[in-house]
Structure 1
Amino acid sequence: MEYFENRERAESFGEVAADYDAYRPKYPAALISTVMQAAEAGAGSGSGSGAPRILDVGSGTGLLASQLKDAGAEVLAVEPDSEMAAIARAKDLKVEVSVFEDWDPQGRIFDLVCFGQSFHWVDPIIALPKIRSVLKAGGSLALAWNDIEPRGELKTRLDAITARFHAEGSAASLGTAGAEDNFAHVEHPALTQLRGAGFTPDEATFTEDLRFSRHDWLSMVFTYSAQLTMDPVKRAVMREEMSKVIPNNGLKARNEALLVLAHA
């Protein structure tokens, strides 16, 4: 089953909207800068105010959208979950509540369309032609994912716990065989989809070292759909087992954020 077909997982985030916003990390500054450069190139010199127009699809609580807005973009967010959208609106973001496949662009055109941790939740057969239709000539598509893993021996212990509770392999978040916090370094399946739709994609990775308290790490891990759709008792046991192996002073982690930047 493709991710976008699993509606239980796709629609599971609203129940933890506040935790999602509080504990999901921001995107690396260098990634934001690269996206803004592409958006500004798409806007060109005749864009009026000069602010590039960005459509952020599957915006969630506006984590990516707010970073792009702070960087100077004019952002419209599209988000299917009303509880997630409410948090994004509280950040003074413009949000329209809809699944992207059903969303009406009303003739609006954008310099860049972006997906932050969300492209795997849309049907590419429907979404990619729609993206092309709302992109200005010379515009870009940006797909971003944070990929955060603990460092050192602790990673092995936490991965073993995850594997026991997700033996069916349902913990992936990027459309790969890896666990949600363990991206497998193979070609991302989105690249094939993009090429098939007439886009020319390029990949870039942005690495940053992070530190988490035990509480913050666990709170982040349990905002992912694989955990949200678990049996509540199993989920509580998994969280307790993870808590026991994380030191009192927290853990070090590395984010190898992936950006796929594509041009039609």
Structure 2
Amino acid sequence: MEYFENRERAESFGEVAQEYDAFRPKYPAALISAIMQAAETITEPGTRAPRILDVGSGTGILASQLRSAGAEILAIEPDDEMAAISQAKGLDVEVSTFENWDPRGRIFDLVSFGQSFHWVDPLVALPKIRTMLRPGGSLALAWNDIEPQGELKDRLNAVVARFHADGRTASLGSRASRGTEANQDTTAGRGTTESVPAVEPVEHPALTQLRDAGFTPNETTVVEDLHYSRHEWLSMVFTYSAQLTMDPVKRAVMREEMSAEIPEDGLDARNEALLILAGA
């Protein structure tokens, strides 16, 4: 089953909208800069702000970062609770699934998906996006993909495997979407970010979908090293749909077991954030 066909998972986020907004990570600054560069390529400098449509905007994490970088944002979000948080941030949000949303002739310099492209039907979404991009416009697909470092990663993965015997991962990052772990550059220093070409043994499925729809995609990974407290890490992990759709008792036990593995001073983690930029 494709992710977008699993509506239980796709529609599970509203119940934790506040926690989602508080604990889901922002995107690395280099990733935001790359999106803005793509959006600005078809605007005359100093004439207007790039106009971006952010799809599956959630609580407005990516949309807020792009607005702060100078973009004019329209957000689309199907969940009322998630949309309300975006609206409270002053974002212009229309509540709808993208498949059912009516653009009413509006045109954009760039369409973005932050951690959300896997929740739309690409056979519907991609042709629709082509009709609303200005000539020379771009599509940006972004995923944060954060994992613990060191031997703690194996211990936490073992806990996840006991509770997700169906093979689901605790998160849904770019590597989970590929179905295999990417072989990425691991030379970035602690507390730094670094843009590196993505090299993985299995191509991200979105690349094939984009090419089939007439887009020209390019893939980049932005690496940043992070540190989480125990509470921050668990709070983030338990905003993902794999956990939200668990039996509540099993979910509580899984959280206790993961908590027992994490040291009091927290854990080091690495974000290999994936950005796919595609020209129409």
1:230 Cα offset (Å) = 0.4
**Is 1:197 aligned with 2:213?**
yes
**Equivalence for 1:20:** 20
1:176 corresponds to: 178
Match among 108, 111, 118 for residue 109 of structure 2: 111
Consecutive unaligned residues in structure 2, runs of 5 or more: 182-198
Q: Does 1:131 align with 2:121?
A: no
Deviation of 1:169 (Å): 1.3
Q: Aligned pair 1:39/2:39, yes or no?
A: yes
1:251 and 2:267 matched: yes
Q: TM-score under structure 2 normalisation?
A: 0.90
Give the counterpart of 2:224 among 195, 208, 220. Answer: 208
Measured after TM superposition, the shift of residue 176 of structure 1 is 2.7
RMSD, aligned α-carbons: 1.4
- The runs of at least 4 consecutive aligned structure 1 residues that moved more than 3 Å come to none
- The one-letter code of the counterpart of 1:176 is R
SS class of match (1:111): strand
SS at match of 1:230: coil
The answer for the alignment partner of 1:8 in structure 2 is: 8
Q: Which amino acid aligns with 1:4?
A: F
Rounded to whole Å, the distance in 1 between the matches of 2:67 and 2:223 is 22
**Aligned to 1:155, which of 153, 156, 162?**
153
Counterpart amino acid of 1:9?
R
SS where residue 99 of structure 2 aligns?
A: helix
**1:231 is matched with which residue?**
247
Q: Secondary structure at the match of 1:102?
A: coil
Where 1:211 maps in the other structure, the secondary structure is strand
Separation in 2, partners of 1:178, 1:165: 19
Query: 1:64-104 deviations in whole A, cap 9, x for unaligned?
Result: 00000000000000000000000001111000000000000
Is the Cα contact below 8 Å between 1:169 and 1:177 reproduced in 2? no
Number of residue pairs the alignment of both structures matches: 258
Q: CA deviation at 1:45?
A: 1.4
Q: After TM superposition, list the pairs within 5 Å mapping 1:76-115 onto structure 2.
A: 76-115=74-113
| Cα distance in structure 2, aligned partners of 1:49 and 1:103 | 29
How far apart are the structure 2 equivalents of 1:27 and 1:65? 10
The residue number in structure 1 matching 2:62 is: 64
What letter matches 1:13 in structure 2? F
Note the C-alpha offset of 1:164: 1.2
Residue 178 (structure 1) shift = 4.7
Identity %: 75
Distance 1:84 1:176 in 2: 27
Q: Tell me if structure 2 keeps the 8 A contact 1:76–1:95.
A: yes
In structure 1, list runs of 5 or more residues that go unmatched. none
1:146 maps to 144
